[in-house]
Amino acid sequence: MSGADVTFRGVSKSFGERRVLGRVDLELAAGEFISIIGPSGVGKSTMLRLAAGLELPSSGRIELRSKLPRPDVRMMFQEDRLLPWRTVLRNVTLGLKGRERDARDILGAVGLEGRENEFPVVLSGGQRQRVALARALIHEPDVLLLDEPFGALDAITRAAMQLLLESLLAMRPRTVILVTHDVEEALLLSDRILVMRDGGIARDLKLDQSRPRHRGDSILSALKEELFDDLLAAENAIDLSKVA
């Protein structure tokens, strides 16, 4: 299986006196796709930033293990973060030399063949996110971190991007951590779903259903209701803590 093993061992993170994460223990196998859901402010994006090395834990440690001495980690954000003065092709090859052919191939895979020489300003939001995804995947990362990458898209474009991501990962599996507020998105794409509450993991749900999954599946619908109940409980816990 491609990808890297990712382990959080007793990881906590504080910003000043505000604790965001408290002693998180988590193990991901190479090639596993997990989604993290939960109310705002419970530490979902902080976990991604810690895994990416953009933040250091206040205590504990994070281990990444793969066949390579240093596993490659790439992160994709809700904003496409394309450089407006660079063409689509040059955005994908940012920081790379001699990879134009690979970039054209991956742009074809994400449905943007023939758009290589255009600038981001003429692309739709969904097309810009396809470029951002191509830019992340051209590095063939061991770990792909996704922070609400489709959150700003309309429902149809979002569904199309979910299908695209699923098909690309089926061809070239890797370890993926997705932060999302969309419970259905998590159910469609993930091997496991983590529900976060108060800076920790309140539930670790393993999904055994084969992919591709269908939105109308009765089992997924039942799980969706369960997860919404978990999220409402977490949200209420935050509100009560503020009142107290």
Residue 207: CB partners within 8 Å, gap ≥ 6?
A: 187, 190, 191, 192, 193, 223
Supply the mean pLDDT for the chain. 90
Q: Using CA of residue 202, residue 208, residue 212, residue 215, what is the dihedral sign?
A: negative
Give the SS3 label for residue 76. strand
Residue 121 has pLDDT above 80, yes or no: yes
pLDDT at residue number 244: 40
Average the pLDDT over 76-93 and give the result: 94
Q: Tokens in use for 110?
A: 């994400």
pLDDT at residue number 212: 85
Within a 13 Å sphere around the CA of 90, how many CA atoms are in the beta-carbon half? 9
Residue 240 has pLDDT above 50, yes or no: no
The torsion of the CA quartet 120, 123, 129, 131, rounded to 10 degrees, works out to -60
Judge if the upstream peptide bond of residue 149 is cis by omega within 30 degrees of 0: no
243 falls in which pLDDT band (50, 70, 90)? very low
The closest of 143, 127, 12, 154 to 65, measured between CA atoms, is 143
pLDDT digits (tens, 9 = 90+) for 14-41: 998 899 998 899 999 999 999 999 988 8
44 falls in which pLDDT band (50, 70, 90)? very high
pLDDT at residue number 237: 63
Share of the chain above pLDDT 90, in %: 63
Q: Tokens in use for 74?
A: 């790439």
Query: Structure pTM?
Result: 0.90
pLDDT digits (tens, 9 = 90+) for 153-204: 888 888 998 999 999 898 888 999 999 999 999 999 999 999 998 889 999 9
